[in-house]
Amino acid sequence: MELEPQKSKLVLNNNMLLLKLGAPLFAIYMSSVFSWIWSSSNFSPQLGGLPLPNVIILAAVVIMGIYAISRRLPLILIVWPPAGLASLFILVSGLLSNEFDASAGILSAAIYVFIYLFVLLVAFRLMSRGISLSICYALIFIFCQAIRFPTFEADFGLGNSNLLTFLCALRALVEITIATLIIRLFVLSEVRKSTKLVWYLFLLTLSHGITAGWEGPLLANSLSFATAISQTLRWFGFLIIQLGFIVAIYRMQRAFDFFAEVEYVPTEDQSK
């Protein structure tokens, strides 16, 4: 009689689980906080367009993402790899932000495409464990780009610049808190409940386009109803297109799994 392998169980304190899941999101958030402090205090140590603490924090998240992948991506570390990839893009684009050459923007876009292809590859590998896990992985990557907030350096007639930045920071902090709680429930959930939680994370990421749609236009001093709507729709498209690739690959994979090879035999000559 063969013995079935026993599944190992990991007992985690609830606070420790929240810490492990929320730490990479909060680290990316802190990079925006340091940018705010640097801008308000006129500190000089910078690399490219990033304050020195930002470079250290983002590099640490990238390293932890690599470590999580080397551990074969346990669910408790699921946030670190996509957060590391998002941090890598933020880091590279920040270092190139002081370059006024048009090629710098093209290079940043090319780097993002390359990073997203890696996200797509990992999501494809995770499909063997369910489409919910694949989409959750991609959503975390996209969400990590939503939790940063801009630093306003001038008044726009709507209040003090620090107050506007504080409102953006508060928005990001609320989103991080909700996302961490959803991901925690996802890690602890059964398979049949995970789909609903992925929908919650999707709606949270989608709602970012509404709650933060005014930030970019205001930062560019061109805020209007039309520009805010345009920014929101741009975020919707950005999100749906990236998730659409994963859903399309999953559908194709499912179709190929059920593909049956058919041998076509010519009909017999009826005249015989």
- pLDDT at position 74: 73
What is the per-residue pLDDT across 27-69, written as a single tens digit (0 to 9) for each? Answer: 999 999 988 888 777 666 677 778 888 899 999 999 999 988 8
Whether the pLDDT of residue 191 is over 90: the answer is no
The most confident of 6-10, 44-48, 81-85, 150-154, by mean pLDDT: 81-85
Enclosing domain of residue 32: 14-257
d(Cα 264, Cα 2) in Å, to the nearest integer? 44
d(Cα 73, Cα 221) in Å, to the nearest integer? 43
Helices 131-144 and 102-126, packing angle to 10 deg: 160
Q: Please give the model's pTM, rounded to 2 decimal places.
A: 0.84
DSSP 159: S
- pLDDT at position 23: 94
- Contact indicator for 183, 78 with CB cutoff of 8 Å: yes
For residue 228, is it within any domain? yes
**How large is the average pLDDT for residues 239-262?**
79
For residue 78, is it within any domain? yes
- Domains: count for the chain: 1
For residue 240, is it within any domain? yes
What is the per-residue pLDDT across 195-217, written as a single tens digit (0 to 9) for each? Answer: 889 999 999 999 999 999 988 88
For residue 266, is it within any domain? no
> In this structure, how many other beta carbons lie within 10 angstroms of the beta carbon of residue 244?
11
- pLDDT at position 223: 80
For residue 263, is it within any domain? no
For residue 2, is it within any domain? no
